[in-house]
A and B are shown apart, each in its own frame.
Chain A
Amino acid sequence: MSETVNTIRRFIFDNFLFDAGEDDLGNDDSFLEQGIIDSTGVLELVEWLEETFSISVDDEELIPENLDSVNRLAAYVARKTA
Chain B
Amino acid sequence: MCGIAGYFNIQRQPETDLRLLERMIWPLRHRGPDGFGFFQDPRAGLAHARLSIIDLEGGWQPIHNEDRTLWIIFNGEIFNYPELRRELIGRGHRFATSSDTEVIIHLYEEKGENCLEELNGQFAIAIYDQGRQSLFLARDRMGIRPLFYTTHQNRLLFASEIKAIFAADPSVERAIDPLVLQEIFTFWSSAGGDTVFRGIRQLEPGCWLKLERDGTMQQQRYWEIPFQEREFARAPERELAAELRDLLIDAVRLRLRADVPVGAYLSGGLDSSAITSLIRHYTDNDLKTFSVTFSDTVYDEQREQQEMAGFLDTDHNEIRCTYATIGRAFPEVVRHTETPILRTAPTPLFLLSSLVRETGYKVVLTGEGADEILGGYDLFKEAKVRAFIAGQPDSACRPFLLKRLYPYLALSPSRSAEYARRFFNTDAPLDDPFYGHRPRWKTTAGTHVFFRDEILAAAGTPPVERLREQWAPRLAGLDYFSRAQFLESRLLLGNYLLSSQGDRMAMAHSVEGRFPFLDHRVVEFACSIPPRLRMKALNEKNILKKAVADILPPAIVRRRKQPYMAPDIPSFFGDESPQYVRYHLSERRLEETGLFKPAAVRRLLAKCEKRARQGFRENMAFVGILSTQILCDAFVENFQDDTPDTLPGKRVVINKEN
Which A residues are in CB contact (< 8 Å) with B621?
18
- Bound Cα distance from A44 to B412, whole angstroms: 10
User: Are B607's CB and A15's CB within 8 A?
Assistant: yes
Q: Once the chains bind, are A18 and B419 in contact (CB under 8 Å)?
A: no
Sorted nearest first, the 10 A-B pairs with minimum C-beta distance are A39-B413, A62-B416, A40-B615, A18-B600, A19-B600, A40-B411, A39-B423, A63-B418, A18-B603, A38-B617
B443 at the interface (CB under 8 A from A): yes
Residue of A nearest to B444 (CB): A38
Q: Is the CB of B615 within 8 A of A41?
A: yes
Interface residues on B, range: 20 to 34
Residues of chain A contacted by B616 (CB below 8 angstroms): 38-40
Report how far A48 CA is from B7 CA in the complex, Å.
58
Q: Is there contact, CB below 8 Å, between A64 and B422?
A: yes
Decide: B415 and A32 in contact? CB cutoff 8 A: no
Does the CB pair B416–A59 fall under 8 Å?
A: yes
B:504-537 near A, CB below 8 Å:
none
Would A43 and B411 count as touching, CB distance under 8 A? Answer: yes
Note all chain B residues with C-beta closer than 8 A to A19: 449-450, 597, 599-600, 603
Q: Is the CB of A18 within 8 A of B615?
A: no
Give Cα A63–Cα B416 distance, bound, in whole angstroms.
7
A59/B615 in contact, CB under 8 A: no
> Would you call B446 an interface residue if the criterion is a C-beta within 8 Å of the partner chain's C-beta atoms?
yes
Q: List 17 A-B contacts (CB under 8 A).
A: A15-B607, A18-B449, A35-B442, A38-B423, A38-B615, A38-B616, A38-B617, A39-B420, A39-B423, A40-B615, A40-B617, A42-B413, A42-B416, A44-B411, A59-B415, A62-B419, A63-B419
- Give every chain A residue within 8 A of B423 (Cβ-Cβ): 32, 38-39
Is the C-beta of A28 less than 8 angstroms from some C-beta in chain B? no
B235 in the interface (beta carbon within 8 A): no
The CA of A43 and the CA of B443, in the complex, are separated in Å by 15
Among residues of B, the one whose C-beta sits closest to the C-beta of A67 is B419
User: Which of A39, A59, A62 is packed against the most chain B CB atoms within 10 Å?
Assistant: A39
Q: A50 at interface (Cβ–Cβ under 8 A)?
A: no
A residues 43-70 in Cβ contact with B at 8 Å:
43-44, 59, 62-64
Residues in B whose Cβ lies below 8 Å from that of A43:
411-413, 415
Is A40's CB under 8 angstroms from B416's CB?
Answer: no
- The contact string, 1 if C-beta is below 8 Å from chain A, for chain B 400-422, is 00000000010111011011101
Chain B residues with CB under 8 Å of A42's CB are 413, 415-416, 419
Residue ID in chain A nearest B411 by CB atoms: A40
User: A61 to nearest B CB, angstroms?
Assistant: 9
Given contacts A18-B450, A39-B443, contact A44 B419 (CB under 8 A): no
A7 to chain B, nearest CB (A): 16
Task: Tell me the nearest residue of chain B to A36, going by C-beta.
Answer: B446
Judge if B604 is at the interface, Cβ distance under 8 Å: yes
Q: B397 on the interface (CB 8 Å rule)?
A: no
Kindly list chain A residues whose C-beta atoms are within 8 Å of the C-beta of B412. Answer: 40, 43
Partner of A64, one of B418, B439, B597: B418
Q: Is the pair B606, A62 in contact by a Cβ cutoff of 8 Å?
A: no
- Nearest to B621 among chain A residues (CB) is A18
What are the residues of chain B within 8 A of A39 when measuring CB–CB? 413, 419-420, 423, 439, 443, 615-616
The interface residues of chain A lying within 8 Å CB-to-CB of B597 are: 18-19
Considering the chains assembled together, what is the distance between the CA atoms of A38 and B420 in angstroms? 11
How far does the alpha carbon of A32 sit from the alpha carbon of B420 in the complex, in Å? Answer: 11
- In the complex, what residues of A have CB within 8 A of residue B420's CB? 39
Chain B residues near A18 (CB, 8 Å)? Answer: 449-450, 597, 600-601, 603-604, 621
Residues of A within 8 A of B411 (CB): 40, 43-44
Question: Roughly how many angstroms separate A15 CA and B608 CA in the complex, as a whole number?
Answer: 9
Q: Tell me, in angstroms, the Cα distance from A18 to B598 when the chains sit together.
A: 10
How far does the alpha carbon of A44 sit from the alpha carbon of B415 in the complex, in Å? 12
Alpha-carbon distance between A19 and B597 when the two chains are bound, in angstroms = 8
Given A39-B420, A40-B409, A41-B617: 4 more A-B contacts, CB < 8 Å: A18-B603, A44-B614, A62-B416, A63-B416
Shortest A52–chain B CB gap in Å is 13
Nearest CB on A from B604, distance (A): 6
Contacts of B601 in A (CB 8 A): 18
A32 with B422: in contact, given A18-B600, A18-B604 (CB under 8 Å)? yes
Q: For A32, list chain B residues within 8 Å (CB).
A: 422-423
Question: For A63, what are the chain B residues with a Cβ–Cβ distance below 8 Å?
Answer: 416, 418-419
- Residues on B with C-beta less than 8 A from A15 are 607
Select from chain A the residue with minimum beta-carbon distance to B445: A35
- Chain A residues lying within 8 Å of B418, measured Cβ to Cβ, are 62-64
Q: How far is the CB of A53 from chain B (nearest CB, A)?
A: 18
A4, chain B: closest CB distance, angstroms: 21
Quote the shortest CB–CB distance from B136 to chain A (angstroms).
46
* Chain A proximity of B358: nearest CB distance (Å): 37
Q: How far is the CB of B586 from chain A (nearest CB, A)?
A: 17
A14, A40, A64: the one within 8 Å of B413 (CB): A40
Kindly identify, within residues 89 to 144 of chain B, every residue whose CB is under 8 Å from any CB belonging to chain A: none
Residues of A within 8 Å of B450, CB to CB, are 18-19
Q: Which residues of A contact B603 (CB under 8 A)?
A: 14, 18-19
Nearest opposing residue in chain B for A46, CB measure? B415
Residues of A within 8 A of B604 (CB): 18
What is the distance, in angstroms, from A44's C-beta to the closest C-beta of chain B? 6
Task: Report the bound CA distance from A39 to B614 in whole Å.
Answer: 11
Among B418, B420, B439, which residue has the most Cβ atoms of chain A within 10 A? B418
How far is A35 from B617 in the complex, measured between Cα atoms in Å?
11
A38 engages B443 (CB within 8 Å) = yes
Interface pair A44/B615, CB less than 8 Å apart:
yes
Within the complex, the shortest CB–CB distance from A62 to chain B, in Å, comes to 3
User: Distance in Å from the Cβ of A10 to the closest Cβ of chain B?
Assistant: 12
A54 to B: closest C-beta gap in Å: 19
Instruction: Point out the residues of chain A lying under 8 angstroms from B413, CB to CB.
Output: 39-40, 42-43
Contact pattern, B 614-630, Cβ under 8 Å of A = 1, otherwise 0: 11110001000000000
Q: Nearest chain-B residue to A19 (Cβ)?
A: B600
- Which of A35, A40, A42 has most chain B Cβ within 10 Å? A40
Contact of A62 among B415, B446, B600, B615 (CB under 8 A): B415
What residues of A have a CB within 8 angstroms of the CB of B599 in the complex? 19
A35 / chain B contacts, CB cutoff of 8 Å: 442, 446
Using an 8 Å CB-CB cutoff, how does the interface string of B578-617 with A read, 1 for contact, 0 for none?
A: 0000000000000000000101110110110000001111
